[in-house]
Structure 1
Amino acid sequence: MSTTTLQSSIFQVGNETAWENLSPGISRQIFGYDDKIMLVKVKFDKDAVGSLHEHHHSQVTYVEAGVFEVTIGDENKILKAGDGFYVPPHAVHGCVCLEPGMLVDVFSPHREDFLAS
């Protein structure tokens, strides 16, 4: 028996899921989630900056399209479509989009701050 109290709809359809504008050149779609996990797509224009930040969530990200310079802690790496990265809880991280692209983020637990808006 599940004790989950928070949950998205069972199916999410891309062209029916709203995009939220986050900052110039960056927008996101929130897909499936419950209190333990969340999937988010983030679209970047060229030169858009995902500012350095940290959070208590574990994060795994897949580069669906584009090229990004990703910083995690003291490490930087250029990643392109088909690559991915892991961000441990409280690690400072961010990115710069070098070619227009899309990141697919998975967070555990869910990003409660994303649902508060």
Structure 2
Amino acid sequence: MRYIAYMRWTVETHDAADAEIEALPPGLQARLIRLMEAVENVGLEQLREPHVKHLEGKLWELRAKAAEGIARGIYVTVTGRRVIVLHVFVKKSQKTPPGALAIARERMNEVKP
């Protein structure tokens, strides 16, 4: 019998996203961290809406919801089954704010997916 080695996903954060995660209310912070752990434990391909959603191009979002509200972590996947969380924010409106997408695009250029 042959076994195929399973290559796990890893989740990293942009330096600026670390501070954004720390600034989240405790419940949202915990929920977002649990989603990042789920990516590593079960694999990104196992997660679907409402937990992840495609935004545009290479940008996707992790979607956290808790008593304090809704938070989003915009991420990109890069070579080697790596997820890099580029920008985290508390969502206040229906659509993802254009400014949040602009920040994520700028940070994506820094990590060169």
TM > 0.5:
no
Give the number of the structure whose residues are more often strand, by fraction: 1
Give the number of the structure whose residues are more often helix, by fraction: 2
How does the TM-score come out when normalised to structure 1? 0.30
